[in-house]
Structure 1
Amino acid sequence: MRVNTAYRNKKVLVLGLAKSGVNAAKLLHRLGALVTVNDKQKFDDNKEAQALLDEGITVITGSHPVELLDEGFELMVKNPGIPYSNPMVQRAEALDIPVITEPELAYSVSDSTWIGVTGSNGKTTTTTLIGLMLNEGEGAGHAYDAGNIGIPVSGVVQKATAADTIVAELSSFMLVGIQTLHPHIAVLTNIYEAHLDWHGSRENYVKAKMRITMNQTADDYFIMNWDLPEMHELAKQSQATIVPFSRQGAAGARATLTDGWLCFDGERIIEADALQIPGAHNIENALAAIAAAKLSGVANTAIVAVLSRFTGVKHRIQYVQTIAGRKFYNDSKATNVEASTVALSAFHQPIVLLAGGLDRHLPMDDLLPLIQAHVHAMITFGETAPLMETLAQQAGIPYQRTENVKTAVPLAFAQSNPGDVVLLSPAAASWDQYPNFEIRGDEFIAAVQALAESEEA
């Protein structure tokens, strides 16, 4: 971390805690700022706020009092999830108080090289692959994954040196709040419809994504998905050197799928069949990661080693185990129909699908063609179980309702045959039964392990 005295004695409000807020407050406190933290959760139930108070940081909890902004603050560091329509944020802007997000704060004190990754889908997998490839290589420094992947960048920058690389997953929410953040390599995996309720329009959402390249120059690289025509126009907004990747043979791409091989600048690197992560979308993620690794000087042998053993990010079409010829995959992160369509398209084998969860009263019809094509049995649970069963009826496949993910696993095994895939891809959020998708996925993994033990007994 480089010395930055700009925050010394500066009055800063950190709005919203969670991991990013806690780490931002601690970093600012270390830099000598006069830090106040404001979080809506009540103090008695707010362990994060209690810990910060013990460190000498001013803490205000239980509400967001707009009048707090009249106390001479010079900067607001906003939790990325808090929208700009929030009265606190609007008041800050009315008072000309700069509003940034935690990655911008982290970048301002970082002396590491940055690789930034954004996109509607594939961010976490691509970020993880790039970090693994850089660390598999023989470079002098270490690569740290951070950002929206669940590791606050403001914590990582305090240990990362000038020889290191920070591979930051940057959500659109984070990117709206950057000013100087300047990745040497930026990656835009894709752009689809997402978070329009937060951004207000697709145009605003795309603008947020493109902020990843706004400070880049011709000495930097912008890796883009050339299979999406929109990218060709968006590339014109960047000053960086454009590095396209393509799974579908788009002209001009440098990272490509060619004759069954993943290639860079025409050089074969690894056969697509050697990847341990299934699906066309993961070929795209791998191509983006290969481009970033090659531009960083990583040898082919290191790239191949990573792609040959990487079985997926936890809860994202994650391979769990093979039991009696059935492969079990955990895709608990599939909290909507779009994510589950990706998962169902990823496999050529017959699928027993475990699905259901929070009912947001959204249509499920887009799943039907994929269920008809790939699924031969379904186990349902949660509030959307009736909706999933309607799809099963329309597809003409058997289904069975059960209590939860734990009880679904043995039922799915009973419905499966050797050579099948047993896939948890709920197509719904977890909150009707679980605090988050991670706990839901962990229960699935534990149930699969228990099944394996019972089969071995």
Structure 2
Amino acid sequence: MKQIDKYTNKKILVLGLALSGVSAAKLLHKLKALVTVNDYKNLDENPEARELINEGLRVITGGHPIELMDEDFELIVKNPGIPYSNPIVKKAIEKGIPIITEVELAYEVNESKMIGITGTNGKTTTTTMITEILNTDRVLGTAYAAGNIGTPASEVAMKATESDVTVLELSSFQLLGTLNLKPAISVITNLYSAHLDYHGTREEYVKAKMKITDNQTENDYLIYNADQEELSELVIQHSKAQLIPFSRKKKVEQGIYVKNDRIYFNEEEVLEVSDILLPGKHNLENALAAIAVAKLMNKSNEAIKKALMQFKGVKHRTQFVCTFEGRKFYNDSKATNSLATINALEGFENPIILLAGGLDRGVSFDELIPAMKKNVKAVLAFGETAEKIIETGKKAGINKTIKVVNVEQAVPEAYKMSEPNDIILLSPACASWDQYPSFEIRGNAYMESIDQFIQSKQEEE
């Protein structure tokens, strides 16, 4: 960890806890800042706050009192999930107090080489792929996955050395709170509309995403999806980094592409598409980005191939669960929008029983229709959007569409509607918050229900 003194005796407010807030507060405390932590949850249900109090930090819980802004804070480190409409945040902006997110703080002290990954979809899978490849046959140091993937960037920054690599998944929420962040290698997997309730407009969302390359220079690299015309134009106009395009549809110069089911980087054959274990065109794109990073980091083709032949995916992201009586169950609970579900559907050739539904954000699901028509034979819908999902299925010509209460009830019903060689796929196309606190809990409930169902069937026999 770099030893810096810019925060010594500076009054800093950490707004919002969760993992990143706890880690940021501990790092600032180590840097000898005068830290105040403010979290909405009450102290009696807030173990993170109690932990920080025990370490000697000042912690205020049970709300976000606007009176805090009467104190002379010099910086606010904001939890990414707290919107800029929050009264404390608005007051800080009025007073000209800088507001950053924890990833910016981590960047300032991180000694390791940093690789940043953003995009609308595929961030976590690409981040994990890169980490797995970089750690394969590694002799010196460790590649750490951090950021939006779950491990706070500042937690890694406190232990990473010059021999290590930080592979940092960056959401638009996190990027919005960066000032000097500059990855040596940046990746933009793709760019669609998302989180407009937070950003206000698509333009602001795109602007936040492009901050990943704002500070890059000609000594850095930006890997991007050349199959997206808008993204290609944006990076050419916006970035000063060396541009490395990836494409699964066409040959690209000075980049990575697919030709005759083989993957090439700058004309060099790296591996065959069939060497990638994960199914789906979207995962092929994720792999192209990951391979490009690996080649820039001088990983051998053998190490890349070895890693990708073993990589089974990330939990809740088109995750293979099990095979039972010829049916293959997949958990894609992370698919919280239509595009992610389209990607999952297009990854399979076999007939699909689709389990979908969740929080109603007032959007149409008609963009699912072409992918549904391909090989979805039945739809089981749940949650606030159940009726909308069923209506979409009917528009796609699917005769078997039923409403169930939740994913737990969907599992036995899906089995009844299935046959050997079918895919039973949870890919909700919606956020989980109407019924489940997170997509992880929804996915876990699905997998637990599969285990219980299989056990009950075996007991019957």
SS at match of 1:108: helix
Partner of 1:446 in structure 2? Answer: 448
Partner of 2:186 in structure 1? Answer: 186
Q: Give me the whole-angstrom Cα distance separating, in 2, the residues matched to 1:257 and 1:455.
A: 44
Shift of 1:56: 1.2
Which aligned pairs between 1:196-235 and structure 2 lie closer than 5 A? 196-234=196-234, 235=236
Shift of 1:34: 0.8
Shift of 1:139: 4.3
Of residues 369-378 and 175-184 in structure 1, the stretch that sits farther from structure 2 once superposed is 369-378
Which aligned pairs between 1:222-371 and structure 2 lie closer than 5 A? 222-234=222-234, 235-252=236-253, 254-371=255-372
Aligned residue type for 1:299 = S
Partner of 1:129 in structure 2? Answer: 129
Aligned residue type for 2:415 = F
Shift of 1:253: 5.1
- Determine if contact 2:244/2:254 at 8 Å carries over to the other structure: yes
Q: Give me the whole-angstrom Cα distance separating, in 1, the residues matched to 2:454 and 2:258.
A: 36
Q: Give me the whole-angstrom Cα distance separating, in 1, the residues matched to 2:215 and 2:77.
A: 20
Which aligned pairs between 1:92-131 and structure 2 lie closer than 5 A? 92-131=92-131
Of residues 262-271 and 29-38 in structure 1, the stretch that sits farther from structure 2 once superposed is 262-271
Q: Give me the whole-angstrom Cα distance separating, in 2, the residues matched to 1:325 and 1:261.
A: 30
The Cα offsets for residues 167-210 of structure 1, whole Å up to 9 and x where unpaired, read as 00011111111112111111111111112222222222222111
Shift of 1:250: 4.7
Aligned residue type for 1:133 = I
The Cα offsets for residues 289-348 of structure 1, whole Å up to 9 and x where unpaired, read as 000011001111111112112121111111111222221110111223232222112211
Partner of 2:399 in structure 1? Answer: 397
Question: Aligned match of 1:435 in 434, 437, 442?
Answer: 437
Q: Give me the whole-angstrom Cα distance separating, in 2, the residues matched to 1:64 and 1:243.
A: 44
Of residues 311-320 and 372-381 in structure 1, the stretch that sits farther from structure 2 once superposed is 372-381
Q: Percent of pairs identical after alignment?
A: 53
Q: Give me the whole-angstrom Cα distance separating, in 2, the residues matched to 1:188 and 1:409.
A: 35
Aligned residue type for 1:328 = F
Shift of 1:126: 0.6
Change (3 A) 1:355 1:4: same
Partner of 1:409 in structure 2? Answer: 411
Aligned residue type for 1:165 = V
Aligned residue type for 1:305 = K
Partner of 2:38 in structure 1? Answer: 38
Q: Give me the whole-angstrom Cα distance separating, in 2, the residues matched to 1:264 and 1:16.
A: 43
Q: Give me the whole-angstrom Cα distance separating, in 2, the residues matched to 1:399 and 1:17.
A: 42
The Cα offsets for residues 238-289 of structure 1, whole Å up to 9 and x where unpaired, read as 1211111111105425111111112211222222233222211111110000
Shift of 1:141: 1.3
- Determine if contact 2:357/2:428 at 8 Å carries over to the other structure: yes
The Cα offsets for residues 96-140 of structure 1, whole Å up to 9 and x where unpaired, read as 222111001011111110000011111111111000000003341
- Determine if contact 2:251/2:258 at 8 Å carries over to the other structure: no
Partner of 1:164 in structure 2? Answer: 164
Partner of 1:78 in structure 2? Answer: 78
Give the aligned CA root-mean-square deviation in angstroms: 1.7
- Determine if contact 1:245/1:253 at 8 Å carries over to the other structure: no
The Cα offsets for residues 137-159 of structure 1, whole Å up to 9 and x where unpaired, read as 33411000000111111111111
Shift of 1:453: 4.0
Aligned residues, how many? 457
- Determine if contact 2:246/2:252 at 8 Å carries over to the other structure: no
Change (3 A) 1:231 1:371: closer
Q: Give me the whole-angstrom Cα distance separating, in 1, the residues matched to 2:9 and 2:169.
A: 30
Shift of 1:17: 1.0
Shift of 1:74: 1.2
SS at match of 2:429: coil
Aligned residue type for 2:451 = Q
Segments of structure 2 that go 5 or more residues without pairing to the other structure are none
Partner of 1:422 in structure 2? Answer: 424
Aligned residue type for 1:278 = P
The Cα offsets for residues 38-78 of structure 1, whole Å up to 9 and x where unpaired, read as 11222232222222112111111222222312211111101
Partner of 1:143 in structure 2? Answer: 143
Q: Give me the whole-angstrom Cα distance separating, in 2, the residues matched to 1:214 and 1:396.
A: 46
SS at match of 1:411: helix
- Determine if contact 2:247/2:256 at 8 Å carries over to the other structure: yes
Aligned residue type for 1:301 = E
Of residues 43-52 and 288-297 in structure 1, the stretch that sits farther from structure 2 once superposed is 43-52
Change (3 A) 1:360 1:196: closer
What TM-score, normalized by structure 2, do the two folds share? 0.95
Partner of 2:50 in structure 1? Answer: 50
Shift of 1:367: 2.0
- Determine if contact 1:76/1:100 at 8 Å carries over to the other structure: yes
What TM-score, normalized by structure 1, do the two folds share? 0.95
